Structure 1
Amino acid sequence: MSRYPRWLLLPFSWLYGLIIIIRNWCYDAGVFKSHRFNIPVISVGNLDIGGAGKSPMTEYLVRLLKNKYALATLSRGYGRKTLGFLIAKSSATATEVGDEPAQFKQKFPEVTVAVCEKRVVGIEQLRASHNLIILDDAYQHRAVTPGYSILLFDYSRVFEPHLMLPVGNLREPFSGRRRADTIIVTKCPDDLDKQHREKIKARIRPLAHQELFFTSISYGGLQDMDGLKTGVVIDQDTAVFLLTGIANAAPLLNHVKKQSRQVIHHNYPDHHQYTLKNIAKLADEFKACVAVKKLIVTTEKDIQRLREHDLLPIVKQLPIWVMPIQVHFLAEGQTLFNEIIKNYVR
């Protein structure tokens, strides 16, 4: 949608914002019930729609805490075709539990990965056998009051106007940041200097009790569909077909373009359910490419949606490699962040 027609929707943004303000007030005033639990519950979320790096941050927390605690992740399970509370099996697909929970289970098979639309119900199911729960994308799920709340801001959007949907990208007003215990600006350049960090801090205006951290994306070596390292390397002579269905593919696209001079991007919306037509188009273009060295690269989230039974016969015939990512803390913030989280959970 072009910028001008979006501005025509401004009255709807005002109305939506008013509804969310009233809803938040009802939770804050106790009109709507919010449940607090007697075990540590960490929430990871953001104010706007998609693309802030919630999954990598959830995975960071899992790596930090899984060896000392009986940990479970709990997500809504966006895009799944099942309902209610469900614990992911090692063979779980995106259709069964959602692409992000399926990704968590593949990467951390020893960890309980659960989905439930009603997080209160999910926590009730999990707390008898777990002593720590991490909520993925739950900042707006006010029915639960987490013990510790982490709010993410995408670096590329920090200086955008604070406008509500549908004109802007905010799911709730910017004032909602006040509920967070820690704020993290994600996907920053590795060389982000102190001056720019201070400008961002002035824009976000964290409260006195809120710690502010900055992170960047760290890309790993290419893996196969099962998450195993391959040793496959991209160079300037490699034709790369990049397949993405995520909220913000720009950082990955820029990263791949630094490695190869020929990148063909097949870009789809976030959580896109790939069809046989989509994959056949990719396969035809790949076959027609005359480059001596060529491969297909996708994300850890996308590969979960490529595992569907109707797609596998074509997918398995293609050289599809996965580009893993991790969170990297800037300005020596990792030690302090880890200490804060461990002190809360302890």
Structure 2
Amino acid sequence: MQYPLQPALKVLLSPLSAIYGAGVLLRNTFFKWGIFRGREFPLPVISVGNITVGGTGKTPHVEYLAALLRDKFNVAVLSRGYKRKTRGFAVVSTESHVEEVGDEPLQIKRKYPDVTVAVDGNRVRGIQKLCRCKGRIQAVLLDDAFQHRWVRPGISVLLTDYSRPLKDDMLLPAGSLREFVSAKERATTVIVTKCPPDIKPIERRIIMTDLKLFPWQSLFFTTFSYGDPRPVFSETVPFPEREIIRSEKYGILMVTGIVSPRPLRKHLRSISPRIRQLRFPDHHRFGRKDVARIKDAWNSPGENLRMLITTEKDAARLRQTTGLDDELKRNMYYIPVSVKFIDGCGESFNKKIIDYVGKNKRDHILC
């Protein structure tokens, strides 16, 4: 979980950032000089990633791409499966366990069961194995792969959070940058994510100026669109009507294990102003003590908590958490999130992606 550091702490950590930066610089220099070489594949490869630690909306953007391509091409999603307890290559099914494949790959598979989803920390090996899968994969989406330079994608999408400008950040551990801001030159497309839906043109121009992109790089702006609450479990009862929530003053228990839950909390205020929040670290595995903490919060006297609402990513883990009683399961919902391009620029983005995949889709049997 990333929190803004105090200025004094940033100063104390800056020597460690310098050491970290030297390692990053050396690695990138080796790739630049050809000592390390990325591999190209005879099929379309689209990478989605960032140069900051978490919280830019990678999974919703990968889902957007999967939804865009799935009806026209046999597309696969390849992730490293962050925080899974297994190693090597694995194909994700809707019944996979979160500890075997990770929460985000499982979320994508449950949302799009007809899309091939796989995990492998070694992306080169993962693509090779996908090429040998039945069904003739025609394109691969790499989730969180901007730093994985062993694969050379045809399109590299770099995400940057609207609320965390790159120019104001520092390298780890003093800041949240995984590498220098100059690394953005490797991207073919840059997307500023989590923008206010009503972001003004002048503000977009300021961001464009600050990013200092090259003419051959495309820039887009997106925001999040929140859907209606959906049941986490099969036994979850229908979500209460908004009028009943307001008239009966129902409260919400908000449970999250993500980097930045603030946008979700803001959205939930449109449902009920009475929100009790439990915040856990990103990708948190819920254990017995966590379940006890959730139960205690749910049963707090005087708060009239009637709905437990979480994120789609947390729902993937909570479904497989033991110890949740029937009452919690009956009242547990998640909020689906989707990507929306601002000012209709999504058509241009979609055309760019579809044209690239259509012209380069694989007709080979092996990679």
1:11 partnered with 2:15: yes
Query: How many angstroms does 1:248 deviate by?
Result: 1.1
Task: List per-residue Cα deviations over 1:195-218 (Å, max 9, x = no partner).
Answer: 010111111111101111101110
* Aligned equivalent of 1:199: 206
CA separation in 1, counterparts of 2:90 and 2:71?
Answer: 23
CA positional deviation for 1:311: 3.9
Which residue among 310, 313, 322 is the counterpart of 1:298?
A: 310
The one-letter amino acid of 2:37's match is K
- Percent identity at matched positions? 39
Question: Match for 1:116 among 120, 143, 150?
Answer: 120
**Residue in 1 that maps onto 2:361:** none
RMSD in angstroms over aligned alpha carbons?
1.9
Cα 1:148/1:269, change in 2 over 3 Å: same
Which stretch shows the higher mean deviation, 267-276 or 303-312? 303-312
> Map of 1:124-143 to 2, 5 A cutoff?
124-128=128-132, 129-143=136-150
Letter in 2 for 1:122: G
Q: How far does residue 158 in structure 1 lie from its aligned partner after superposition?
A: 1.4
Q: Which runs of 5+ in 1 are unaligned?
A: none
Number of aligned pairs?
346
Deviates more, 1:303-312 or 1:11-20: 303-312
For residues 103 and 137 of structure 2, what CA distance do their matches in structure 1 show?
Answer: 23
CA distance in 2, matches of 1:324, 1:119: 28
- Structure 1: how far apart are the matches of 2:75 and 2:296? 44
1:9 to 1:192, Cα distance in 2 relative to 1, 3 A: same
Query: Residue 226 and residue 318 in structure 1: after superposition, are their counterparts in 2 closer, same or farther (change >3 A)?
Result: closer
Secondary structure of the residue aligned to 2:108 is: helix
* DSSP 3-state at the match of 1:156: coil
Which amino acid in structure 2 is aligned with residue 267 of structure 1?
Answer: R
Is 1:249–2:253 an aligned residue pair?
Answer: no
Once the two structures are TM-superposed, the CA of residue 323 in structure 1 deviates from its matched residue by 0.5
Distance 1:22 1:293, change over 3 A: closer
Q: Where do 5+ consecutive residues of structure 2 fail to align? A: 359-367
Amino acid aligned to 1:28: K
Quote how far apart the aligned CAs of 1:155 are.
Answer: 0.5
Answer yes or no: is 1:262 the counterpart of 2:266: no
Q: Is the 8 A contact 1:103 1:301 kept in 2?
A: yes
SS of corresponding position for 2:141: strand
Contact in 1 for aligned 2:232/2:329 (Cα 8 Å): no
| Secondary structure class of the residue paired with 1:207 | coil
1:104-152 CA-to-partner distances (Å, cap 9, x unmatched) read 1110111111000100000000023311100000000011111110000
- 1:341 is matched with 353
Aligned to 1:279: 291
Where do 1:1-346 residues align within 5 Å?
Answer: 2-128=6-132, 129-158=136-165, 161-225=168-232, 230-234=238-242, 235-236=245-246, 237-292=249-304, 294-308=306-320, 310-313=322-325, 317-346=329-358
Whether contact under 8 Å (2:298, 2:305) holds in the other structure is no
Question: CA–CA distance in 2 between the matches of 1:196 and 1:183?
Answer: 16
Q: TM-score, normalised by structure 1?
A: 0.95
Following the alignment from structure 1 to structure 2, what is the Cα–Cα distance between the partners of residues 149 and 203? 20
Check whether the contact 2:51–2:179 (CA below 8 A) recurs between aligned residues.
yes
On the 8 A contact 1:238/1:293 being kept in 2, the answer is yes
